[in-house]
Structure 1
């Protein structure tokens, strides 16, 4: 699959003061990732693993410490975040945020919220053309025309979610980043919005990066899943492979935590201990060491690289098997 998005050695470190000396919190640490044209990729992990920082980095809402974000071969990190906001390439990556109530301007009616990116990024100034485009986009996401003159506080949660989605897709992006887009919604509304998102991807041929805590949703909507832990990617696999044959102990624990009546009474993967500190972590120690049930001496001496363990399957674990034909050097 031809890559649409390429992430190369991407890192984001935040300086902090600690015991009178400078230190850095490693929010995202040396991440490599690709997303193909038309592909839907899930990004999962516990709170604090770096998902939200990845969203901001890929959406060019913040600048990386080091690394590159390329879309269609164009290096989006060649300019600063402030400069990128006015770049014609801004339209190529759009973000649907977790809480539409917080992300929508309370002084903008729904019509204005959808029209704003069209004016800023596409330079639409013709009133009739703008009106037609906004109404067509509203229809695309199932937002009735009579709601376009309402303010966010006058809309239901599902309606605000549709406005947020419409605002993002109005400029016809190549990549849509969905940051927990249904977490603030009732369960019945979540299902409707998820069906809408699946339909939009098929109709508009967009790529998705779907960030979520809900692994069942990721399994339904994504063809490939990326697992993060303390700023590092620890496993990448096709969705079905990840849910049935994951190889990293952390991924196995996440999958085992999914409610499943068929597993009732079966063995659970238990993670004891506490997460390592993300502040200046030892580059030679596996981030998962201390919680991992397989932890061994080598995990304290060598950071496991993210390596191929099967077809389109990568894991950062010393105990993951090597693909057939390769020598296991553990």
Structure 2
């Protein structure tokens, strides 16, 4: 797959999440005990930009996906879409809003995300009826067939049910269903993790081609850092609900500034570095339940932890060149 061209920065971001938080009460615990799934996060995505969101399981990536897609309501903070606040209404009301079609999600498992009782045509047409309120059968058929063609889905498969398709074909249906309403932002939540390796490469190439052709912005959530490096122009790294580093993809991979990012990149398999010493993360992760706001979330595993790390939470600070890190010693 070839690298995608850079897109010029837009003066108003397509999506701008500001101080976004999602806290959950912990059942069976004292009143006020909260799990900090996403904690005071800022995230921007420019028009036509592909941003990678990475971090280990439990870091808050999936909650961020649900917040940005307005599948759940934030505890605090706001999300601006093209400068318009889309958190001014509840999730239940947002479903009926014209803005709902501007953000679409391609889910992790295409088998689980498709209605087994819907034929492929119905699955792709459903967002047209629900989000765009289309009722003309000819217009719906035209849009469905165009979306199917864009994702490389043969016309004869459009009348089949999901169980009659291969994993790669179901993935194409999920992508077609997301792009049929012509969204501005496509959120890709581990879109290839449930697929065979040989199929993953084909779907990733398809996604790259669609972005170049349709000019959509992507938020690409993945555990596979090699894929992120290939597909994205900028990377956001999360740890225990916090953003710990942001930067242009090549700069961040060449010179990671946060110890957690350094450990993530060092974990990428590379035969050329087989004999090199790599950063190790000893210790146990801190608890996301009512964490001390003055303690760095990473200090219990950090090889560079110092006294300052348990008295002052490090802020995400600009390091130049578009790179930022939340570390006292970055």
Q: TM-score range by the shorter chain?
A: over 0.9
Q: 1:314 aligns with which of 317, 324, 328?
A: 324
- Kindly tell me: are residues 62 and 308 of structure 1, through their superposed partners in 2, closer, same or farther at Cα, counting changes over 3 Å? same
Q: 1:65 aligns with which of 54, 75, 83?
A: 75
Once the two structures are overlaid, the 10-residue window that deviates more, 91-100 or 118-127, is 118-127
Structure 2 partner of 1:107? 117
Alpha-carbon distance in 1 for matches of 2:216, 2:29: 47
Q: 2:296 aligns with which of 277, 286, 295?
A: 286
Listed one character per residue, the Cα deviations across residues 252-271 of structure 1 (whole Å, up to 9, x for unaligned) are 00000000011111011100
Structure 2 partner of 1:227? 237
- Secondary structure of the residue aligned to 2:227 is helix
Gap regions ≥5 residues in structure 2: 1-8
- Secondary structure of the residue aligned to 1:77 is coil
- Secondary structure of the residue aligned to 2:64 is helix
Alpha-carbon distance in 1 for matches of 2:133, 2:193: 33
Alpha-carbon distance in 1 for matches of 2:133, 2:295: 50
Q: 1:46 aligns with which of 38, 56, 63?
A: 56
Deviation at 1:19, TM superposition (A): 4.4
Once the two structures are overlaid, the 10-residue window that deviates more, 18-27 or 83-92, is 18-27
Alpha-carbon distance in 2 for matches of 1:40, 1:131: 30
Matches within 5 A, 1:87-126: 87-126=97-136
Q: 1:296 aligns with which of 295, 306, 313?
A: 306
- Secondary structure of the residue aligned to 1:168 is helix
- Secondary structure of the residue aligned to 1:210 is strand
How many pairs are equivalent?
320
Q: 1:32 aligns with which of 32, 42, 53?
A: 42
Deviation at 1:240, TM superposition (A): 0.5
Structure 1 partner of 2:140? 130
Once the two structures are overlaid, the 10-residue window that deviates more, 48-57 or 69-78, is 69-78
- Kindly tell me: are residues 58 and 281 of structure 1, through their superposed partners in 2, closer, same or farther at Cα, counting changes over 3 Å? same
TM-score after normalising by structure 2: 0.96
Alpha-carbon distance in 2 for matches of 1:252, 1:85: 40
Structure 2 partner of 1:151? 161
Deviation at 1:17, TM superposition (A): 3.1
Structure 2 partner of 1:326? none
Gap regions ≥5 residues in structure 1: 321-330
Q: 1:12 aligns with which of 22, 25, 34?
A: 22
Alpha-carbon distance in 1 for matches of 2:296, 2:213: 42
TM-score after normalising by structure 1: 0.96
Alpha-carbon distance in 2 for matches of 1:20, 1:27: 18
Listed one character per residue, the Cα deviations across residues 199-237 of structure 1 (whole Å, up to 9, x for unaligned) are 000000000000000000000000000000000000001
